């Protein structure tokens, strides 16, 4: 007979191997909860899943109309509308996933106190659930790109690593912030304020080439690399964009290490603090 796994509650931190193996065994739970959360969100809406597309598309179109009339931002060889949409698709997924995952452990206290699973599952569910909307928006982006005069070739394959890297970035931010939120309940409000400024220092509606002396700082923005990678797969990235990609990879590595430390050390203490 196969021995039944036994949970041993001790004051010691969860071993890293145990934490990772528990997360792997929880993958079916994460998939089920992510799918449920996404479809329940739009179940009673009259337009259903269409809202997952309409909201970012409307935001991009409004920004395109307003900015094209009040600024002189040029995107040579690329329609400003589709250029803006390629950045909005990334930002909409990232900001929503990080915002939702930040409060996930606290919000999920009712379930996590009844059964054991790694608390890291909760923020990851919000990130995985956002992938459904991201997929729909990528389809819209690929449909509109040739309509507005851009014809991506084999570069469209770059969208695969772009989605993977964006997901990792959102997941690492969510894991770190959700752990901090358990101890410091102001984190969600600090994130909300930071996100409003973060939007403007991310090259969503302007190319890197116009920044001159500020370019180095914007390239260090963790979201810049994934925005440029999305553009490389659709409308074309800015010259020299690989620097921003290395910054993003560095952020993912550092935040991932911090997340492992936090969840390894405090996973069994989160419930007592909620």
Residue 171, C-beta contacts closer than 8 angstroms, at least 6 positions apart? 97, 101, 123, 124, 127
Please determine, for residue 257, whether its predicted confidence score (pLDDT) is greater than 70. Answer: yes
Residue 210 Ramachandran class (φ > 0 left, ψ -120 to 50 alpha, else beta): alpha
d(CA 161, CA 170): 14
Which tens digits make up the pLDDT trace of 147-166? 877 777 788 899 999 999 99
Tell me the average pLDDT across 14-33.
83
User: What is residue 3's predicted lDDT score, i.e. its pLDDT?
Assistant: 54
User: What is residue 112's predicted lDDT score, i.e. its pLDDT?
Assistant: 63
Per-residue pLDDT band at 90 (split at 50, 70, 90): very high
Q: What is the mean pLDDT of the chain?
A: 83
Q: Which residue has the higher pLDDT, 253 or 16?
A: 253
CA 245 to chain centre: 15
Q: Are 163 and 246 in contact (CB under 8 A)?
A: no
Per-residue pLDDT band at 221 (split at 50, 70, 90): very high
Please determine, for residue 259, whether its predicted confidence score (pLDDT) is greater than 90. Answer: yes
d(CA 127, CA 99): 10
Tell me the average pLDDT across 110-131.
83
Q: Which residue has the higher pLDDT, 163 or 35?
A: 163
pTM of the model as a whole = 0.85
Q: 124-140 burial string, b = 16+ CB within 10 Å, else e? A: bbbbbbbbbbbebbbeb
DSSP conformation class of 151: -
Please determine, for residue 52, whether its predicted confidence score (pLDDT) is greater than 70. Answer: no
% pLDDT > 70, the chain: 83
d(CA 7, CA 243): 45
Which tens digits make up the pLDDT trace of 172-189? 999 999 999 988 889 999
User: What is residue 85's predicted lDDT score, i.e. its pLDDT?
Assistant: 87
Please determine, for residue 198, whether its predicted confidence score (pLDDT) is greater than 70. Answer: yes
Q: Which residue has the higher pLDDT, 129 or 35?
A: 129
Q: What is the DSSP string of 65-79?
A: HHHHHH-----TTS-
Determine the Cα angle at 257 with ends 133 and 265, to 5°: 105
């Amino acid at each position: 007979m196969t021995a039944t796994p036994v949970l041993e509650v001790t004051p010691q931190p969860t071993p890293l191997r145990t934490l990772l193996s528990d997360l792997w065994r929880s993958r079916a739970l994460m998939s089920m909860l992510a799918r449920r959360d996404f479809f329940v969100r739009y179940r009673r809406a009259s337009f259903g899943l269409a809202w997952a597309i309409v909201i970012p598309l409307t935001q991009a179109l409004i920004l395109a109309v307003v900015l094209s009339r009040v600024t002189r931002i040029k995107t040579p060889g690329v329609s400003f509308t589709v250029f803006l949409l390629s950045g909005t698709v990334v930002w909409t997924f990232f900001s929503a996933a990080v915002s939702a995952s930040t409060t996930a452990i606290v919000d999920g206290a009712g379930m996590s106190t009844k059964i054991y699973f790694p608390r890291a599952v909760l923020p990851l569910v919000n990130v995985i659930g956002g992938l459904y909307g991201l997929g729909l928006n990528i389809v819209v982006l690929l449909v509109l790109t040739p309509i507005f005069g851009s014809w991506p070739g084999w570069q469209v394959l770059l969208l695969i690593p772009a989605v993977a890297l964006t997901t990792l970035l959102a997941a690492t931010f969510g894991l770190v912030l959700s752990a901090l939120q358990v101890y410091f309940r102001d984190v969600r409000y600090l994130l909300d304020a930071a996100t409003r400024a973060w939007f403007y220092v991310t090259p969503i509606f302007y190319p890197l080439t116009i920044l001159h002396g500020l370019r180095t700082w914007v390239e260090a923005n963790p979201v810049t690399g994934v925005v440029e990678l999305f553009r490389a797969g659709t409308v074309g990235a800015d010259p020299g964009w690989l620097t921003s990609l290395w910054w993003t990879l560095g952020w993912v590595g550092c935040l991932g290490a911090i997340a492992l430390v936090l969840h390894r050390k405090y996973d069994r203490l989160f419930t007592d603090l909620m």
